[in-house]
Amino acid sequence: MLTQEEGLSLVRLARKTIESFVRNEPIDKPKDHKPFMDKKRGVFCTLTKHGQLRGCIGLPYPTHKLVDAVVEAAMGSAEDPRFPAVTEDELKHIKIEISVLTEPKKIEASGEEILKNIKPNEDGLIIKHGFNQGLFLPQVWKELPSKTEFLDHLCLKAGLAPGYWKRPGVTFYGFRVQAFKE
């Protein structure tokens, strides 16, 4: 678990990274960062503008040091392919949230059984089937509070039809997050 101050330092790093990235300035990673930033963790950077999603990109698995994962996720969120790239004029309206993930663990359930194995507002989920996969952070439960609606939309995000989560061969991975906002 990260402290509030550690989490807010990640938010500040994301803000500085996005501002430099959007302005085409060099990205400076802190060289004298605290040891907690050297731990490998999954991270997502979510941008909102006037309360609406403006970008959300991340690394779900602990493949990078936290300092590197935050920088990569922050740059990616500023160029989320679902939206136009963030402009310098928008920077003052953008709010940043950093989600630090626990390592995703396979959920040993399939079909309707999955409904008993997920907790709304706590679990983030990854769905996989073949080359298709999608991820929802636990924060998405606020918009999709029904388990079946959450899973149907997760299927859509993965390029699968609603209800596909009930089919054999679909796998799920669950994780939790610590989220820190500006």
The model's pLDDT over 20-75, given as tens digits with 9 standing for 90+, comes to: 999 999 998 887 788 999 999 999 999 999 999 999 999 999 999 999 999 999 99
- In the listed set 101, 122, 148, which residue is the last one of a domain according to the structure? 101
Is 18 a member of any domain? Answer: yes
Q: Is 56 left (phi over 0), alpha (psi -120 to 50) or beta?
A: beta
- If asked whether residues 28 and 86 sit together in one domain, one would say yes
Residues 112 and 30 in one domain: no
Same domain, 11 and 66: yes
Predicted confidence at residue 68, as pLDDT, reads 96
**Do 97 and 117 share a domain, yes or no?**
no
pLDDT at 97 > cutoff 90: yes
**Residue 38: its pLDDT value, please?**
94
The total of structural domains in the chain comes to 2
Same domain, 97 and 46: yes
pLDDT in tens, 109-136: 888 999 999 999 999 999 999 999 999 9
Owning domain of residue 96: 4-101
Burial class of 82 by CB neighbour count within 10 A (0 to 12, 13 to 18, 19+): exposed
Gyration radius of the chain's alpha carbons: 17
If asked whether residues 147 and 97 sit together in one domain, one would say: no
Q: How far is C-alpha 120 from the geometric centre of its chain's CA atoms?
A: 16
Q: What is the mean pLDDT of the chain?
A: 96
Same domain, 75 and 112: no
Q: At what angle do helices 4-22 and 66-78 cross, to 10 degrees?
A: 50
Average pLDDT over residues 157-178: 96
Q: What is the per-residue pLDDT for 181?
A: 97
Lowest model confidence (mean pLDDT) among 28-32, 75-79, 164-168? 28-32
Confirm whether 170 is domain-assigned. yes
Domain boundary residue among 44, 74, 101? Answer: 101
Lookup: tokens for 87: 């402009």
Report yes or no: 104 and 60 within 8 Å, Cβ to Cβ. Answer: yes
Residues 85 and 117 occupy one common structural domain: no
